[in-house]
């Protein structure tokens, strides 16, 4: 690691922060330090960073907005890459929306609507980046990334830049090929359709009103914690198990949405994991269903 940092500093490849607390970079406001957080500001810096890591035989973890991730209290050993700067962009070419990895997925849905393009309305409440949305095949309201995905430019662990078309991505429920191979999204394109601006705006306003009414948007959370079982909803099962409001330490099952765990102020990753385990065992005992986590749990245990 020391040789890598020395070369990174000498080359000026990208900004980096040693020992950075990842609680500053996750929507749960939870997480210990990364040994080294690297913030590539553009495509060239991202590729150069990955090539340098490969040269030194070092692994790395991806981080977007940290909206679907629980980082352990001990943090992440090694390198974490968080794209920033000039990778926060969007442009439109006809009905295709092309966005950088660090662009807000919510903002992308808003900008598409302003262009009179439909297909991204479901993304209006997904608080992550474009890169994270592709990684997770993010979805809501009966739709997901796979339905509009056109291609993504991805840096592989060797530093090679490869374009992945839709058929290459192995999309399934909250899954993509990026769960199977090491890679970082640089840019992604989504194929949309022409629509009526007023209808799109109305649908998005309705979705926003529903989120405000049903989700704990004013408290730190990571969105939905568990995947929906086939033909059912995790939130329904948790609510029927009478777990709304149940807490362990600073982690609490939201009173508004049972599939959200909120940080009431001083929650640790240990609190959240204990609460998740309690939810799983209670729901399984009551209904015979084992809930599967949707959030990614990363870091040293």
- Pairing label, strands 69-71, 76-81: unpaired
Active site residue 121: no
- Find the Cα–Cα–Cα–Cα dihedral 110, 111, 112, 113, rounded to 10°: 50
Which two tokens mark 265?
Answer: 């102020």
Active site residue 174: yes
**Among the options 72, 109, 224, 254, which is catalytic?**
224
Three-state SS for 28? Answer: coil
Helices (H), the chain: 2-11, 43-55, 105-114, 130-136, 197-214, 234-240, 269-287
Q: Which of 45, 115, 187, 294 is catalytic?
A: 294
Of the residues 72, 174, 187, 254, only one is catalytic, namely: 174
Q: What are phi and psi of 186, to 5 degrees?
A: -100, -45
Beta carbons of 275 and 247 less than 8 angstroms apart: yes
Known catalytic residue at 160: no
Residue 252 φ/ψ, nearest 5 degrees: -140, 140
Catalytic residue ranges:
174, 224, 294
């Amino acid at each position: 690691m020391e040789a890598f940092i020395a070369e990174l500093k000498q080359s000026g490849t990208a900004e980096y922060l040693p020992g950075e607390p990842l609680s500053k970079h996750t929507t749960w406001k939870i997480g210990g330090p990364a040994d080294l957080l690297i913030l590539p500001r553009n495509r060239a810096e991202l590729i150069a960073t990955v090539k340098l890591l490969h040269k030194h035989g070092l692994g790395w973890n991806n981080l977007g907005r940290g909206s679907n991730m629980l980082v352990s209290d001990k943090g992440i050993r090694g390198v974490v890459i968080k794209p920033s700067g000039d990778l926060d962009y969007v442009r439109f070419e006809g009905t295709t929306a092309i966005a950088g990895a660090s662009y807000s997925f919510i903002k992308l849905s808003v900008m598409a609507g302003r262009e009179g393009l439909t297909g991204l309305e479901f993304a209006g409440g997904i608080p992550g980046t474009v890169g994270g949305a592709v990684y997770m095949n993010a979805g809501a309201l009966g739709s997901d990334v796979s339905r509009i995905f056109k291609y993504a430019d991805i840096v592989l662990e060797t530093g090679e830049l490869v374009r992945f078309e839709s058929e290459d991505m192995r999309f399934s429920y909250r899954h993509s090929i990026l769960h199977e191979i090491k890679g970082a999204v640089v840019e992604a394109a989504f194929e949309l359709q022409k629509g009526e601006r007023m209808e799109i705006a109305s649908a998005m306003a309705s979705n926003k009103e529903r989120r405000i009414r049903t989700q704990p948007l004013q408290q730190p959370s990571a969105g939905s914690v568990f995947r929906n079982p086939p033909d059912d909803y995790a939130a329904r099962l948790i609510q029927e198990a009478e777990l709304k409001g149940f807490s362990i330490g600073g982690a609490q099952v939201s009173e508004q949405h049972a599939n959200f765990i909120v940080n009431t102020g001083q929650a640790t990753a240990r609190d959240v994991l204990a609460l998740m385990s309690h939810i799983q065992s209670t729901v399984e005992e009551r209904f015979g269903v084992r809930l599967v986590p949707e959030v990614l749990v990363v870091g040293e245990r």
